[in-house]
Amino acid sequence: MKKTLGYRVNIFLFLLPALFLFVAVLIAPIVMSAFYSFHDWNGLKEPVYIGFKNYVELFTSGSINFGRALKNALLLALFSTVIQLPFALWLALKLAKGIRGERVFLSVYFMPVLISTVVIGQLWLKIYNPDYGVLNVALRALGLESWTRIWLGDKSIALGAAFVPVLWQYVGYHMLLMYAGIKSVPPELREAGMLDGCSDAQLNWYIVIPYIKPIMRISVIFAVTGSLKSFDLIYVLTNGGPVHATEVPSTLMINLLFLRNRYGMGSTIAVMLIILCFVFALLINMVFRKEKVV
Q: Is residue 43 part of a domain?
A: no
Q: What's the whole-number average pLDDT of the chain? A: 91
pLDDT at 1: 47
What is the pLDDT at residue 289? 85
Indicate the pLDDT class of residue 78, thresholds 50, 70 and 90. very high
The three-point CA angle 90-118-33 to 5° equals 95
- Is residue 47 domain-resident? no
Does residue 52 belong to any structural domain of this protein? no
Average pLDDT over residues 90-102: 89
Residue 293 has pLDDT above 60, yes or no: no
Alpha-carbon distance of 80 to 225, in angstroms, equals 10
C-alpha span between 229 and 61 (Å, rounded): 22
CB atoms inside a 10 Å sphere around CB 264: 26
149 assigned to some structural domain: yes
Q: Which of 50-54, 75-79, 263-267, 288-292 has the lowest mean pLDDT?
A: 288-292
- pLDDT tens for 235-255 read 999 999 898 999 999 999 999
Print the SS3 string covering 35-65: HHCCEECCCCCCCEECCCHHHHHHHHCCCCC
Q: Report yes or no on 54 lying in a domain.
A: no
Q: Domain limits at 96?
A: 68-293
| Number of domains comprising the chain | 1
Helix, strand or coil, per DSSP, at residue 280: helix
Q: What is the pTM of this model?
A: 0.91
pLDDT band at 292 (very low <50, low <70, confident <90, very high): low
Would you say residue 102 lies in a domain?
Answer: yes
Contact 130, 140 (CB under 8 A): no
Please write the tens of the pLDDT for every residue from 121-168.
Answer: 999 999 999 999 999 999 999 999 999 999 999 999 999 999 999 999
The CATH number of the domain where 225 resides is what? Answer: 1.10.3720.10
Burial status of residue 198 (CB atoms within 10 A of its CB: 0-12, 13-18, 19 or more): middle
pLDDT band at 61 (very low <50, low <70, confident <90, very high): confident
Residue 53 lies in a domain: no
Instruction: Determine the Cα angle at 165 with ends 175 and 242, to 5°.
Output: 150
